[in-house]
Amino acid sequence: MIDLHIHTELSPDAKGTFDQYISFAIEHGLKIVGFTEHWDFDRFDPTCNFDVHKKSQEICRGYCGPIEVLYGAEIGYHRIYEDYVTKCLDEVKLDFILGSVHEVEGLMISEVAETGEFFSKFGKKGFQVYFEAVANFAQDGIFDVLGHLDVIKRFSVLYDFPFKEEQHKMQILEILDILVARNKALEINTSGLRQPPGASYPSLKVARWFFERGGKYITVGSDSHEPAMTGKGCDETIQNLINMGIIDITIFKERYPVVLNVIGEPGQGFVRKLR
């Protein structure tokens, strides 16, 4: 149905062409897809050129076919680069920015080996350190959607640090309150369903907390890094949200949220509500 987190071969850790992703998406009934190549400033020269994103923009904007294609980017950067990032965003007109925290205290917590180093250094306190970093990013970062809020749990369980949501509820609520105050969206990233946690990032319980605290916008994405993963878990997650009473899913057009009623009328598809 909808998948707003897709990486192609233009991202350094992904494979597959744009056309391969589109073909798979059409074959499997997706209606809206968003391409979000990595745009990281954590370890790389922030003055690098933006050929990758200009190429992505050209491909996405040039597509004319049976599904809707949105042009986004997954950005992770430090506060010191904010002015530079803002300037560069003027050069590529994105539909949406997915803001993600991949690196904390110099270690990539989205990679298995460095997650081990992270917990060796911080122990159980590592979760607190991670959520503090996410809170700072949520407060200061340039983004429309906060990506995979609790991705720290991806590999923590492999190092005997299972993630227990209720133990970190106060920090999670603090982050959600920041998103609400800044009128930002929360991503439900389904990649965790096929990874060690066996649960989305964050869980649907957190999605409920978000709406209870005044949140308006939820996006859903597979975080696909190969064509065959496109849309994986998205329909299931959307149906579970509907079962919870959450029937509005958000997409973005030119950085503006468009809320879709994913139930709609029979034969009508999505009902779009601009907000």
The Cα 138–Cα 103 span in angstroms is 14
CATH superfamily of 2-274: Metal-dependent hydrolases (3.20.20.140)
> What is the predicted pLDDT for the residue at 44?
57
Q: What is the pLDDT of residues 205-233, one digit of tens each?
A: 999 999 999 999 999 999 999 999 999 99
Q: Which two tokens stand for residue 30?
A: 């997706």
| Helical segments of the chain, H only | 18-27, 51-62, 82-89, 112-122, 126-140, 153-156, 169-182, 204-212, 234-243
Spans of the chain below 50 pLDDT: 265-268, 274-275
**Torsion angle of alpha carbons 70, 74, 80, 81, nearest 10°?**
-50
Q: What is the pLDDT of residues 60-76, one digit of tens each?
A: 999 999 999 999 999 88
Q: What is the pLDDT of residues 111-138, one digit of tens each?
A: 999 999 999 999 999 999 999 999 999 9
